[in-house]
């Protein structure tokens, strides 16, 4: 525990392997309230219905994450078959087992889409180096709507922000991350 307060508490946790730290997390928690939004510059994106969107999976590449979640990418922002030069993406997200979304699934939703830099023809694994997630509320049952965008790509790094709305149109999560621009995977 780093700090325990009346409104928020902060804890630090580190996952070690041998004598080397692999993941370091700083978690600040407080009580979620369903207070009305006083001001917001976020506009909920308009997407085609999930059944009109592209299923996000590559039959030539096994990604175990897609056994646990279902993503449907807006065809206007899908990076394949051709990148469009705009590093942004909109998609639907839900758990593959049909369970309703919860706070933990919001943590997954913000970082589950294809990297937005794919639209800049920067293909390959794009590992997250730092991720900050702000949980705004407990999501209602149903699909989550996610919009992710990149503002800057420089020196092998890119930022990506994600915003998540629940099935009622309420903003439930926001994130910002710093990631490495991936190298294309090479087949042997």
Q: Are residues 5 and 58 in the same domain?
A: no
Q: What is the pLDDT of residue 61?
A: 64
Q: What is the CATH number of the domain that holds 176?
A: 2.40.160.210
Only one residue has tokens 């294309």, namely 184
Express each pLDDT in 139-166 by its tens digit: 999 999 999 999 999 999 999 999 999 9
> What average pLDDT does range 124-134 have in this prediction?
92
Whether residue 13 sits in one domain with residue 71? no
pTM of structure? 0.88
Give residue 89's domain range: 49-180
Structural domain count, the chain = 2
Domain shared by 20 and 91, yes or no: no
Give the CA-trace dihedral at 116, 161, 112, 163, to 10 degrees. -120
Q: Is residue 165 part of a domain?
A: yes
Phi/psi at 129 (5° precision): -100, -35
- Residues in CB range of 161: below 8 A, 6 or more apart: 148, 149, 150, 151, 174, 175, 176, 177
pLDDT (tens digit per residue) in 8-65: 899 999 999 999 988 888 888 888 877 777 888 888 999 999 999 988 766 666 678 8
List Cα–Cα distances, 101 to 26, 44, 123, 140, 169, in angstroms. Answer: 23, 18, 29, 7, 14
Q: Where are the beta strands (DSSP E) in 100-156?
A: 128-135, 144-149, 153-154
Give the model confidence (pLDDT) of 27-42 as tens digits: 888 888 777 778 888 8
């Amino acid at each position: 525990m780093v700090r325990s307060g009346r409104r928020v508490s902060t804890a630090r946790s580190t996952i070690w392997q041998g004598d080397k730290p692999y993941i370091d997390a700083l978690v600040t928690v407080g009580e979620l309230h369903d207070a009305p939004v006083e001001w917001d510059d976020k506009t909920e994106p308009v997407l085609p219905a999930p059944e009109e969107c592209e299923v996000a999976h590559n039959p030539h590449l096994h990604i175990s994450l897609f056994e646990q979640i279902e993503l449907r990418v807006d065809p206007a922002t899908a990076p394949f078959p051709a990148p469009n030069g705009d590093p942004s993406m909109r998609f639907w997200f839900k758990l593959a087992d049909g369970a309703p979304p919860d706070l933990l699934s919001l943590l997954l939703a913000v970082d589950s889409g294809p990297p937005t830099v794919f639209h800049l023809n920067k293909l390959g694994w794009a590992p997250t180096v730092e991720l900050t997630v702000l949980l705004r509320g407990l999501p209602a049952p149903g699909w989550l709507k996610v919009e992710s965008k990149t503002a800057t790509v420089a020196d092998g790094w890119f930022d990506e922000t994600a915003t998540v709305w629940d099935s009622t149109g309420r903003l439930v999560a926001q994130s910002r991350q710093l990631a490495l621009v991936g190298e294309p995977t090479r087949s042997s």
